[in-house]
């Protein structure tokens, strides 16, 4: 059933970050970790899968919980969090889910990479084993984190790794970080300093046997972290941090990853799965940093971790990623944008939109939740931290089953892209909190004049404003800019 769908692509009360999309049969399945509204840690919930028909990406359904943390034999008080997973179909026709059961404190990155198996893409997975060497030792070389897997015509490639946004040649790093990393990664200082000539930091690949568990050889380094990236290179400016994902389109392998700046999904390409990767660019930033030269200080949405991948669905290419909510790093929602792969294999960076997988523009009719905004800024939006308190700022927020834009303050911009307008209409909003005015713009420019002004009254409860007339013909974004002395919450806007 075709209907209007916005970003985020799943219900507003659903928090599925780290999305890995895969087409199996006539459906696309989204595998990811599972956050909570207003959570206090990453990925505390079990794996929940969503899927949609390949010919109707507006019709997503929840497949339910496909794997629980307590099914893993490594589950214990210290290890309870199911971090970013990936799934592929094995040579035997079954589906294999790769994950690491991570812990808090000293057990977040020390492995192993575990595998669960199921006869169907979104059935009930059962623990199968850990990725291992032929002699039975678990694969723990480098940092066994964020596993992703590709079945390349029967060759099973597993990628994984982690990095730091720090120059490991600096005096501070040499003095302090080996000891810090020893605790985090459960490795000796000697191993961190000397025994790995390429360093333990970076993206790695290993081929698996048909049993989907046993490695054929030692893993290879395919992309460096900042410490090994050549100074002055684009790779150093966008070095590997986490979120490894490997795809193949045509003759090219695409390695998608999150760089050390944390908000962007980058990619490198090669004609070989295990070497020769060259940095190509940024696919998306969850603050639109880089679009039209935009700098980090001018981010159009609160930024934070990013993780996702590319999938070809019904002849078109899409990038799946996530955005932040609740003014914290732990409540992330799945988003997607259509992308273009040019004849030379490169991918131009795309902006965040509210259209998502709608297949076209949003109709200027009916009711839209304010929380489907793709731009949200007071002019000083933060990069959200998971280790220190974030400064107060406007944010997408949930109370009970209601999701809205919270703490809208003076000069806050809430933006939506893009609508198909057809002449005269009326528009109203629902808000609560302080009195003020929402000025309506169709251009993001300091010299632009509003096309309308919606007065809002002070109210402790949700209150609908008067409807004001507008006349627009064509394709435009819609920006609401709040002016008032206090803070207001924004629930929805209605076209009539």
What are the catalytic residues?
A: 18, 242
Tell me the C-alpha to C-alpha distance, in Å, between residue 463 and each of 93, 169, 404.
55, 57, 13
- Under 8 Å between Cβ of 28 and 376: no
- Under 8 Å between Cβ of 286 and 321: yes
CA distance linking residue 310 with residue 302, whole number of Å? 23
For the chain, the straight-line distance linking the first and the last C-alpha, in angstroms and rounded, comes to 24
Question: Cβ of 130: how many Cβ atoms within 10 Å?
Answer: 21
DSSP for 216-250 reads SS--EEEEE-GGGSPTTSHHHHT-EEEEEEEEEET
Q: Which SS3 state, helix, strand or coil, does residue 98 take?
A: strand
Tell me the C-alpha to C-alpha distance, in Å, between residue 254 and each of 245, 271, 279, 394, 424.
8, 9, 10, 35, 46
Q: Which SS3 state, helix, strand or coil, does residue 149 take?
A: strand
CA distance linking residue 405 with residue 397, whole number of Å? 6
Q: Which SS3 state, helix, strand or coil, does residue 464 take?
A: strand
Q: What would you report as the CA-atom Rg of the chain, rounded to the nearest whole angstrom?
A: 23
Q: Which residues contact 180 (CB under 8 A, 6 or more apart)?
A: none
- Under 8 Å between Cβ of 493 and 464: no
Q: Over the range 238-260, which residues count as b (16 or more CB within 10 Å of their CB) and which as e? A: bbbbbbbbbbeeeeebbbbbbbb
What token pair was written down for 383? Answer: 């990069």
Q: Which helix or strand (DSSP H or E) is residue 183 part of?
A: helix 171-185
Q: Is the backbone of residue 404 left (phi > 0), alpha (psi -120 to 50) or beta?
A: beta
- How many Å separate Cα 349 from the centre of its chain? 15
């Amino acid at each position: 059933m075709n209907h209007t769908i916005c970003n985020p692509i799943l219900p507003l009360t659903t928090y599925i970050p780290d999305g890995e999309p895969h087409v199996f049969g006539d459906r696309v399945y989204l595998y990811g970790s599972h956050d909570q509204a207003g959570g206090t840690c990453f990925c505390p919930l079990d794996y929940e899968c969503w899927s949609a028909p390949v010919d109707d990406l507006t019709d997503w359904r929840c497949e339910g919980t496909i794997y629980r943390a307590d099914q893993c034999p490594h589950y214990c008080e210290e290890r309870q969090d199911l971090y970013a997973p990936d799934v592929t179909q094995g040579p035997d026709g079954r589906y294999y889910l790769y994950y690491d059961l991570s812990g808090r404190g000293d057990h977040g990155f020390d492995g192993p990479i575990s595998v669960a198996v199921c006869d169907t893409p979104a059935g009930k997975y059962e623990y199968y084993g850990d990725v291992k060497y032929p002699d039975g030792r678990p694969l723990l070389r480098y940092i066994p984190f964020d596993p992703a897997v590709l079945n390349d015509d029967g060759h099973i490639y597993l990628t994984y790794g982690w990095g730091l946004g720090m120059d490991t040649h600096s005096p501070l790093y040499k003095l302090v970080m080996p000891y810090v990393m020893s605790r985090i990664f459960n490795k000796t200082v000697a191993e961190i300093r000397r025994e790995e000539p390429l360093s333990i930091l970076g993206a790695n690949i290993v081929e698996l046997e048909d049993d989907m568990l046993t490695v054929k050889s030692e893993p290879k380094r395919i992309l460096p972290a900042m410490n090994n990236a050549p100074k002055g290179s684009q790779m150093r400016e966008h070095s590997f941090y986490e979120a490894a994902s490997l795809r193949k389109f045509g003759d090219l392998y695409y390695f998608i990853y999150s760089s050390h700046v944390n908000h962007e999904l980058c990619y490198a390409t090669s004609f070989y799965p295990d070497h020769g990767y060259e940095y190509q660019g940024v696919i998306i930033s969850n603050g639109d940093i880089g679009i039209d030269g935009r700098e980090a200080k001018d981010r159009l949405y609160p930024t934070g971790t990013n993780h996702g991948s590319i999938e070809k669905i019904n002849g078109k290419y899409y990038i799946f990623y996530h955005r932040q909510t609740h003014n914290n790093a732990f409540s992330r929602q799945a988003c997607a944008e259509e992308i273009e792969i040019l004849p030379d294999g490169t991918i131009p960076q795309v902006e965040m939109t509210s259209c998502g997988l709608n297949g076209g523009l949003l109709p200027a009719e009916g009711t839209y939740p304010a929380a489907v905004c793709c731009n949200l800024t007071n002019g000083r939006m933060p990069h959200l931290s998971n280790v220190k308190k974030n400064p107060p700022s406007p944010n997408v927020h949930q109370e009970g089953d209601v999701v809205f834009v919270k703490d809208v303050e003076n000069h806050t911009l809430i933006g939506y892209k893009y609508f198909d307008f057809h002449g005269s209409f009326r528009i109203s909003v629902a808000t609560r909190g302080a009195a003020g005015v929402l000025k309506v713009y169709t251009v993001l420019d300091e010299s632009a004049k509003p096309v309308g002004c919606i007065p809002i009254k002070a109210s402790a409860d949700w209150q609908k404003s008067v409807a004001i007339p507008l006349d627009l013909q064509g394709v435009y974004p819609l920006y609401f800019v709040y002016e008032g002395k206090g803070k207001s919450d924004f629930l929805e806007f209605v076209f009539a």
